[in-house]
């Protein structure tokens, strides 16, 4: 059983919050502990980003609780109204639904004060809540900040390897008429969804870190901004590549059915030449993609120029059309090959575009 860093940090925050509350006779100390638990965030950036929101929500909770506590002596009724008000404030006004629990908790803690001594207890209970909130953010900053960048890069590579493999398999299924089974496609879809969800989660967590820019110089901030844009583009690149692999699977099945209906005519030598060209392009595209992985990992990568595919394909298609009869069967084949080529070309061209990302970004700034 693994105990994560966040679990340890939460335990330390609870212990310190209780200790400080008891030391300075601010109580009940359990309020500080509960506040520390609620305010502990997954990342340093997320903690600082939410810090201001937490303060605002707490202040509103105090105002709501004080007003209701002084005007409605019936405890369960005032707590119920406070709950409704805090939910509405967090969702409709502040747009901070993540802090609903914190707001309700703070209001209820204050409203649970003895009615005859309500005013005297408000200050100490608010202070206890603030102690827990402050300790949670401090602990989150100084103790074992999570390394989301390294985790994201590792997950990026895992996602990309899987997506590229699926894309290449889809091309091969089209070229060699080996359609996949429903079970295989369902398994791949499920695995892709899991990988994408994990990658997006890590990307969002790192996004908080980038946006905070705590103690960072302007140069470092600009570097993070460039990297953020590259990672965002890379994530979209993998999403798009997966979708194109699914489109190619559909074409593979279409080609199989079309050939069955036509009694599987022999494949001409001209069409074999087109297949050979597509295999070469997909090989080049995977090479570009491997270099792009190096770039994502921060390693030195070989920069390739944008590929030229259509001119080669045009010559081969012209040769093929000149030697094939004019029929719907061959017209459909021509359209399919064009679509497959377009998708492979996109794979190659997009990978080289991202390989040249910094150069393209600098050109854009200059213009």
Q: Which of 42-46, 211-215, 244-248 has the highest mean pLDDT?
A: 244-248
Q: Which of 47-61, 123-137, 216-230, 309-323 has the highest mean pLDDT?
A: 123-137
Q: Percent of the chain having pLDDT more than 70? A: 88
Tell whether the model's pLDDT for residue 367 goes beyond 50. no
Report the pLDDT value the prediction gives residue 215, as an integer from 0 to 100. Answer: 42
Q: Where in the chain is the domain with CATH 1.20.58?
A: 148-366
pLDDT tens per residue across span 308-326: 766 777 777 777 777 777 7
pLDDT tens per residue across span 107-157: 998 998 887 777 778 888 888 988 988 898 888 777 756 678 889 999 999
pLDDT tens per residue across span 183-207: 999 999 999 999 999 999 999 888 7
How confident is the model over 295-313, as a mean pLDDT?
81
Tell whether the model's pLDDT for residue 362 goes beyond 60. no
179 and 249 in contact (C-beta within 8 Å)? yes
Q: What is the largest CA-CA distance in the chain?
A: 99
pLDDT band at 358 (very low <50, low <70, confident <90, very high): confident
129 and 58 in contact (C-beta within 8 Å)? yes
Average of per-residue pLDDT values in the chain: 84
Report the pLDDT value the prediction gives residue 324, as an integer from 0 to 100. Answer: 72
Report the pLDDT value the prediction gives residue 219, as an integer from 0 to 100. Answer: 63
Measured in whole angstroms, how far is the alpha carbon of residue 136 from the centre of its chain?
A: 25
Cα dihedral 219, 224, 229, 231 sign: positive
Check residues 318 and 75 and name the one with the higher pLDDT: 75
Report the pLDDT value the prediction gives residue 270, as an integer from 0 to 100. Answer: 78
41 and 140 in contact (C-beta within 8 Å)? yes
**What long-range pairs does 239-244 form, CB within 8 A, spacing at least 24?**
239/196, 240/346, 240/350, 241/163, 241/164, 241/167, 241/347, 241/350, 242/163, 242/166, 242/167, 242/192, 242/196, 244/167, 244/343, 244/346, 244/347
The correct CATH number of 148-366 out of 2.40.128, 1.20.58, 1.10.287, 3.30.1380 is 1.20.58
Q: Which of 32-36, 60-64, 191-195, 263-267 has the highest mean pLDDT?
A: 191-195
């Amino acid at each position: 059983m693994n105990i994560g860093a966040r679990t340890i940090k939460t335990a330390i925050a609870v212990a310190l919050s209780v200790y400080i509350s008891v030391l300075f006779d601010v109580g009940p100390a359990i309020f500080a502990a509960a506040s520390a638990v609620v305010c502990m965030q997954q990342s340093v950036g997320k903690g600082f980003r939410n810090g201001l929101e937490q303060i605002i929500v707490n202040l509103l909770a105090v105002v709501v609780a004080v007003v209701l506590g002084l005007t409605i002596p019936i405890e369960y009724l005032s707590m119920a109204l406070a709950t409704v008000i805090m939910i509405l404030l967090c969702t409709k006004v502040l747009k901070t639904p993540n802090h609903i629990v914190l707001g309700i908790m703070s209001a209820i803690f204050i409203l649970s004060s003895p009615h005859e001594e309500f005013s005297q207890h408000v200050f100490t209970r608010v202070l206890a809540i603030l102690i827990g909130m402050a300790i949670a953010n401090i602990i989150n900053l100084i103790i074992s900040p999570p390394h989301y960048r390294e985790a994201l890069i590792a997950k990026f590579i895992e996602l990309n390897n899987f997506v590229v493999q699926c894309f290449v398999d889809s091309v091969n299924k089209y070229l060699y008429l080996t359609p996949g089974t429903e079970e295989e496609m369902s398994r791949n879809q499920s695995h892709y969804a899991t990988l994408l969800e994990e990658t997006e989660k890590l990307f969002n967590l790192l996004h908080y870190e980038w946006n905070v820019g705590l103690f960072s110089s302007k140069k470092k901030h600009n570097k993070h901004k460039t990297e953020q844009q590259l990672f965002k583009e890379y994530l979209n690149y993998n999403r798009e590549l997966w979708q194109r692999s699914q489109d190619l699977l559909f074409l593979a099945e279409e080609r199989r059915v079309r050939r069955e209906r036509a009694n599987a005519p022999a494949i001409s030598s001209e069409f074999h030449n087109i297949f050979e060209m597509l295999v070469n392009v997909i090989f080049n595209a995977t090479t570009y993609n491997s270099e792009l992985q190096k770039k994502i990992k921060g390693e030195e990568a070989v920069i390739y120029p944008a590929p030229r595919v259509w001119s080669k394909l045009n010559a081969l298609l012209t040769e093929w059309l000149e030697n094939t009869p004019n029929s719907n069967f061959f017209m459909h084949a021509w359209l399919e090959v064009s679509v497959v080529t377009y998708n492979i070309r996109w794979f190659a061209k997009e990978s080289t575009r991202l390989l040249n990302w910094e150069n393209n970004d600098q050109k854009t700034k200059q213009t």
